[in-house]
Amino acid sequence: MSATLVLVRHGETAWNAEGRLQGQTDIPLNDRGREQAHVAGRELGSGSWDVLVSSSLGRAVETAELIGQNLGLALTEKLQGLQERSYGQAEGKVVRDLPRERIDELLQSAEPEEKVATRGLAVLHELVQRHEGRNIIAVAHGTLIRLALDTISEGPKRPIMRNGEAVHVDVQKLREHFREAVH
């Protein structure tokens, strides 16, 4: 029996609302973000969940705890490997409405996308291996989720996730990715 894995993007923060790059800067949820977490918990309430984990950054931890309140499920692990991409010197910069070229200049000091995807997928793969046959919710960050899913997907690139949005992971594709990486 295979595991089920759902990834949830943390709720909104003041920096999300302002269009700022957060990366690994630990900005707390705002009131709207807390409501988004409650909504995500209610929407996930129709499932039968066994495991709740999150990134170790506070906005993801709080989102997971609020989801857990709705599901009667405790947060069991805070995983550093699920942290958002480090944007280096660009963290805190407003990028909303900037031309792509300017954003690319700002991102020169950022953690490489491939490294973000690799570390995120490694944690997710380890989770499904360790929790075989169980239903897992992992709360993480938009860029990490997008890059990880794009890496294992054969379809079009994923759009930016909304705060509080949940997405199911194709666990079979995740496992195939690791089998191919070994060979």
Spatial CA neighbour of 78 closest among 127, 116, 118, 146: 127
Q: Exactly one of 12, 62, 84, 91 is catalytic; name it.
A: 84
Spatial CA neighbour of 26 closest among 54, 60, 53: 60
Q: What is the C-alpha radius of gyration for the chain, rounded to an integer number of angstroms?
A: 16
Burial of 72 (0-12, 13-18, 19+ CB in 10 A): exposed
84 is catalytic: yes
74-98 b/e with 16+ CB inside 10 Å = b? ebeebbebbbbbbbeebbebeeeee
Q: Exactly one of 10, 125, 141, 177 is catalytic; name it.
A: 10
Spatial CA neighbour of 28 closest among 63, 75, 76: 63
38 is catalytic: no
Residues belonging to the active site:
10, 84
